[in-house]
Structures are given as structure tokens and as C-alpha cells.
């Protein structure tokens, strides 16, 4: 019983880890990205993928979401989304 209490005391802080929602960086196009992307998945993917994707990568990713997954993004909005992602989350 005592061992169980010790384990509980040691593990409890891990259960309280910060799970706050990811907030994307401010900038032109941010609201469009949130509105277009967050309707299907968490925006956590944006910073998570930023270490891998340059402009070509973000263009391909946005095109894939539209063509393969049917993301409801107007053709004139896709370049704005890519511009925001490249400026704020593009691989340097």
C-alpha cells in the first residue's frame, strides 16, 4: 500500500502536464489558416511540421489537403494560406 502511495505522488505531477491549445503566430492569413485547417484537424500539426517544410513543402501539403482530403479552401485562399505558413512556419 505504501509503495502505491509513493508511486501516486511521483506520477501525479505528470498527469498535470500543460495541455493548453496551440496558438498560431499572429500575422496576415492566420485566421484563414485557423478557419481552413482547424475544421478537420488540430492546428498542432502546423508547428510540428514546420521543421520539415519549406515553401514547396507547404504548397504540396496545402494542395494535398484540398485535393486528397477535400478541404473546403477557395482557390484564391490557398496561396494566402501557403504564404502565412511559409512566413511563420517555413523551414529556414
Give the C-alpha distances (Å, rounded to integers) separating 50 from 28, 40, 53, 58, 66.
17, 19, 5, 9, 19
Q: Decide: pTM greater than 0.85.
A: no
pLDDT tens digit string along 29-65?
A: 999 999 999 888 888 989 988 889 999 999 999 999 9
Output the pLDDT for position 21: 73
Which CATH number belongs to the domain containing residue 79 in this structure? 1.10.760.10
Q: Is residue 2 part of a domain?
A: no
Q: Is residue 7 part of a domain?
A: no
Q: Is residue 81 part of a domain?
A: yes
Percentage of the chain modeled with pLDDT above 70: 78
Domain holding 52, by residue range, is 25-89
Output the pLDDT for position 84: 96
Please state the rounded mean pLDDT for residues 19-28. Answer: 80
Q: Is residue 51 part of a domain?
A: yes
* Total count of domains within the chain: 1
Amino acid at each position: 500500500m505504501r509503495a502505491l502511495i509513493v508511486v501516486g505522488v511521483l506520477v501525479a505531477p505528470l498527469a498535470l502536464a500543460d495541455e493548453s491549445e496551440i496558438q498560431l503566430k499572429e500575422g496576415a492569413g492566420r485566421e484563414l489558416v485557423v478557419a481552413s485547417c482547424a475544421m478537420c484537424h488540430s492546428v498542432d500539426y502546423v508547428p510540428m511540421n514546420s521543421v520539415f517544410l519549406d515553401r514547396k513543402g507547404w504548397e504540396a501539403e496545402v494542395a494535398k489537403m484540398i485535393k486528397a482530403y477535400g478541404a473546403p479552401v477557395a482557390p484564391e485562399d490557398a496561396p494566402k494560406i501557403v504564404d502565412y505558413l511559409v512566413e511563420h512556419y517555413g523551414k529556414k
